[in-house]
């Protein structure tokens, strides 16, 4: 993966109808801003219950977007990352329907995870209560078979997302076949979606247990044989992230979004600086994604301190709601379906109270900390919450999943905020010092200084948190210069 900013986007929500139009947008209107693109689920269909994360056919491009040739065409111009949805498939898949019809006689029966597979001797109360869930309730759904009997099927996320038995031969062959298809299409990197939930074992939390680490490691090694790098998507306690990073190519720095909010809200970089001293370096940094703003990634766990004291963290969450004029509350927790217990649903721009200056500083910090930056398509345009889409779907995360028209995109590109962010992005992509050594300056808590140096090239960000001022200095044409400021 290039050490340049990566775009996170759906094909059909950024003013495009298909892959070819996305390709044109990235080569023209958004030229120079991105070294790669994480294309969010484009499988058949893109408009299921979970916005493509519940594929009926993981090996087929939704025909409305194009086909694998169109995916390959995009890959000729920039690196492509795609999701490998390791945990589940849609209840509407051909395979699961065949299982419902024929039961254990189905050739696809080994692919799916039933209650009795994990608990062949049954489960007691302690077994069930120990299972970690990202959403309320137990991870089982009752399905009626064709013969009239009922079976409990493991459904970690929603009743329409049927968990795969990744320990079975069928499960391993299924994932392997997708990797082979990705290789042919020129996809150079995969994001392991929900990999932390993939392994279920009686008497455990069924989340990030030792066997899960083994599974991730084995799948990573398999991907490498196809020439594909791996990014693991795990929202969890920060020490778990550090441990995972030792086993894979890349992990997300999911702690960063809330730490940057803490820095800007509370006018102190203390917690952020601590994290930068201990954080893994093989990270992809984000402030926003297609999901919410993760809280669990900085919170305490089982009596162990988090990256931000719990009381301070509660204040940050309250401030997000206040800054969004309570709109984020309508999309978070029990207020909306498809809810996540560990996230606040809000655009990052609104989380910062629509403060364009604070938003630019937040992006500057993201681009200067170690890691490869990703910017979500709504974040590219520094946009507001989509309350109309939220009202129409009642899916919390849709507050930050706007469908742009081409005219909206052109209007945003002409705006002052986009121009300033574009300048910052091109600076991050083009300055050679970012391929060198990172240094965190010794400053007071109310300021932040980050410097990158490679041979004679250097670039430095200084932020004064008290007055929300930043300045970027560095080499330009062999001479020191002020490259950007507010």
Q: Which two tokens stand for residue 161?
A: 């997302």
Here the tokens at position 442 are 């010794």
Alpha-carbon 486 to chain mean position: 29
Q: For residues 357 and 334, what is the distance between their CA atoms, to the nearest angstrom?
A: 32
Ligand-binding annotation for 233, yes or no, is: yes
* Of the candidates 278, 349, 364, 265, the residue with the CA atom closest to the CA atom of residue 314: 265
Please, what is the end-to-end C-alpha distance for the chain in angstroms? 31
Q: Is 235 annotated as a binding residue?
A: no
Longest CA–CA span in the chain (Å) reads 78
Distance CA 34, CA 12 (A): 18
191 is in an annotated binding site: yes
Is 6 among the annotated ligand-binding positions? no
What residues act catalytically? 193, 233
User: Which tokens in the block code for residue 79?
Assistant: 């690196």
* 135 annotated ligand binder: no
Q: Binding residue per annotation — 416? A: no
Sign of CA dihedral 61, 66, 68, 71: negative
Torsion angle of the four alpha carbons 278, 283, 287, 288, in this order, in degrees rounded to the nearest 10: -140
Query: Hey, which residues does 332 pair with through a beta bridge?
Result: none
291 assigned ligand-binding residue: yes
Sign of CA dihedral 190, 193, 199, 204: positive
DSSP 297: T
Give the residue ranges of DSSP H helices in 10-49.
Answer: 19-27
Q: 10 Å Cβ neighbour count for 485?
A: 10
**Residue entry with tokens 């600086």:** 273
Contact 346, 418 (CB under 8 A): no
Please, is 28 exposed, middle or buried when counting C-beta atoms within 10 Å of its C-beta (0-12, 13-18, 19+)?
exposed
- Where does 244-348 show beta strands of DSSP type E? 250-253, 283-285, 293-294, 343-344
50 is in an annotated binding site: yes
Residue 342 marked as a ligand binder: yes
Residue 371 gets the label, from left (phi > 0), alpha (psi -120 to 50) or beta, of: left
Which DSSP string corresponds to 83-122? EEE-SEEETTSHHHHHHHHHGGGSTTGGGB-BHHHH-TT-
Which parts are annotated binding residues for sucrose?
A: 88
Which parts are annotated binding residues for substrate?
A: 50, 191-193, 233, 290-291, 340-343, 397
Which parts are annotated binding residues?
A: 50, 88, 191-193, 233, 290-291, 340-343, 397
């Amino acid at each position: 993966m290039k050490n340049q900013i990566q775009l996170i986007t759906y094909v059909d929500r950024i003013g495009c109808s298909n892959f070819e139009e996305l390709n044109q947008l990235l080569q023209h209107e958004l030229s120079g801003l991105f070294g790669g693109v994480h294309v969010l689920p484009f499988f058949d269909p893109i408009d299921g219950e979970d916005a493509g994360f519940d594929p009926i056919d993981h090996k087929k491009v939704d025909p409305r977007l194009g086909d694998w040739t169109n995916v390959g065409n995009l890959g000729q111009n920039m690196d492509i990352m795609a999701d490998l949805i390791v945990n589940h498939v849609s209840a509407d898949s051909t395979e699961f329907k065949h299982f419902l019809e024929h039961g254990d006689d189905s050739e696809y029966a080994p692919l799916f995870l039933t209650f009795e597979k994990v608990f062949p001797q049954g489960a007691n109360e302690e077994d069930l209560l120990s299972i970690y869930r990202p959403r309320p309730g137990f991870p089982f759904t009752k399905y009626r078979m064709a013969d009239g009997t009922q079976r409990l099927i493991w459904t970690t996320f929603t009743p329409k997302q049927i968990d795969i038995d990744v320990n079975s031969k069928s499960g391993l062959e299924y994932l392997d076949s997708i990797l082979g298809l990705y290789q042919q299409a020129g996809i150079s990197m995969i994001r392991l979606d929900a990999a932390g939930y993939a392994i279920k074992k009686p008497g455990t939390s069924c989340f990030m247990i030792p066997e899960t680490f083994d599974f991730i490691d084995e799948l990573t090694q398999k991907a490498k044989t196809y020439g594909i790098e791996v990014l693991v998507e795990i929202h969890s306690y920060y020490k778990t992230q550090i441990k995972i990073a030792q086993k894979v190519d890349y992990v997300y720095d999911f702690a960063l979004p809330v730490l940057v909010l803490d820095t800007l809200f509370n006018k102190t970089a203390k917690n952020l600086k601590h994290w930068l001293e201990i954080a893994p370096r093989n990270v992809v940094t984000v402030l926003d994604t297609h999901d919410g703003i993760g809280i669990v990634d900085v919170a305490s766990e089982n009596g162990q301190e988090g990256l931000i004291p719990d009381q301070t963290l509660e204040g940050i969450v309250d401030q997000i709601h206040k800054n969004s004029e309570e709109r984020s509350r309508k999309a978070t927790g029990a207020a909306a379906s498809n809810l996540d217990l560990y996230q606040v649903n809000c655009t990052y721009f609104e989380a910062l109270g629509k403060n364009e200056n604070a938003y630019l500083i937040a992006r500057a910090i993201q681009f200067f900390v170690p890691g490869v930056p990703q910017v979500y398509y709504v974040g590219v345009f520094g946009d507001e919450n989509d309350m109309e889409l939220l009202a129409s779907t009642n899916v919390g995360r849709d507050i930050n999943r706007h469908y742009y028209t081409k005219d909206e995109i052109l209007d945003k590109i002409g705006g002052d905020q986009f121009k300033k962010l574009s300048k910052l992005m091109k600076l991050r992509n083009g300055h050679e010092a970012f391929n060198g050594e990172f240094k965190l300056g010794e400053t007071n808590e109310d300021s932040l200084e980050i410097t990158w140096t490679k041979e004679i090239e250097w670039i430095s960000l200084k932020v004064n948190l008290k007055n929300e001022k930043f300045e970027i200095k560095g080499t330009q044409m062999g001479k020191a210069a002020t490259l950007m400021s507010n």
